[in-house]
Copies of this chain bind each other. A is one copy, B any other.
Amino acid sequence: MSFELVILGNSSATPTLNRFPSAQYLHVLDHHLLIDCGEGTQMQMQRYKIKKTKIKHVFISHIHADHMLGLPGLLFSMNLMQRTEPLHIYGPDTLFEIIDLFHKNTESELRFEIIKHITNTNTKEVIYEDALLKVSSFPLFHRVPTTGFLFEEQPKLKKLNVVSCKKNSIPFANYTDIKRGKDYVSDDGKIIIPNSELTVDKGEPFSYAYCSDTMYDERVIEAVKNVNLLYHEATFLHDRLKRAEETKHSTALQAGIVAQKANVSKLIIGHFSSRYDLLDELLAETRTQFANSFIANEGEHFFME
C-alpha cells in the first residue's frame, strides 16, 4: 500500500463528544507523517493504533488551539517512550515560540532533537524532498498565518518487465535507466528496443493536498490543481456564509467549488462546527458542486494504491 490517510479528528474549534479537533495520520510510501495535532491527538493515535514512535515529520498548518494543542503532550509522551530519533516539525515561527517556552517553563529536556522548519506563509515552498516524496507548503487565507500542505509522490520509476529484458539480453548496467523510462539504445543512440517493451507502467504518481482552515480564495484552487485527493475544510453550511467570512472559514458549498474548479479526483471535507450534530447536510451541499465528495469521518481510512 503506498498511501493511507487516517482521520484522527474533524472538529473545528470546539470539539464535540464524538469529534476531536484536527489531526491526520498519513502513511505514504515509507513515511509516517502527522498533519496537524489538535488537543487529544495522542489519545486518538492510541485509539486507532498508530505508533507514536514511527512519526518522523509533523506538519502544523497554523497555531490555533484546535490544530496544535496536542503537540506538547505528544512530544512529552515520545520522550517518556525513550525516543532518541530527531523529529522534524514544520510550522509557523509562532508555533516554535510556544513550544520553546513550554519546554523552558516545564524544565523539560527532551532526549531527542526537534528539527524546526519554519513555514513560509506567503508563498508556496518545497519543505521536504527525497527520491520518493515531495512536500510543499502553500498559503491559506485565515485569521492568522496559515499554510496548507501538498504531498506529491515523485514521478515513479517504472517496473522492469524482467522476462522481456532477459529475452532481449539487456545488460544489467542498463536496468536503472530503463526503470527511469529510457529506451535501450545502441552506442550511436539508435533505439534498439523501446522502453514500452521492457517495462510495466506503474501508473501516475499520486498527490494529496490538505487545506485546514481557509476562506474561499482562487489562489487555493491554483495550489491544489489536479491533485488526486483534496482535504478541504467545510466549517459551515452555506446559509452561514456571513459567519464563514467573518471567521475566515469556508462553507461546504465552497469546498465543493474548490474541488470542482481545481479538477481534483476526490474530495474529503472536515473541520465541522460543533453546531452540526449530523454531517449529512454538509456533504449533500458539497456534492451539489462536486459529486465525488466524502466526509472525513473520525477513524476513517482513505487508501490509494
Contacts and interface: CB of A to CB of B under 8 A. Distances in A.
A126 interface: no
A43 B65 contact: no
Contacts of A143: 107
A40 interface: yes
Contact of A39 (B13, B39, B101, B144): B39
Interface residues on A, range: 35 or more
Copies of this chain assembled into the complex: 2
B77 A73 contact: no
A65 B73 contact: yes
A305 interface: no
Given A40-B39, A40-B43, A94 B105 contact: yes
Contacts of A73: 15, 21, 39, 65-66, 69
Given A17-B43, A40-B39, A69-B69, A97 B106 contact: no
A17 B39 contact: no
A42 B15 contact: yes
A220 B117 CA distance: 45
A20 B39 contact: no
Contacts of A297: none
A299 interface: no
Contact of A106 (B77, B107, B144): B144
Given A14-B76, A40-B43, A95-B105, 14 more contacts: A13-B80, A14-B42, A15-B73, A21-B73, A39-B40, A63-B106, A66-B76, A69-B69, A97-B101, A97-B105, A98-B98, A98-B101, A98-B102, A105-B144
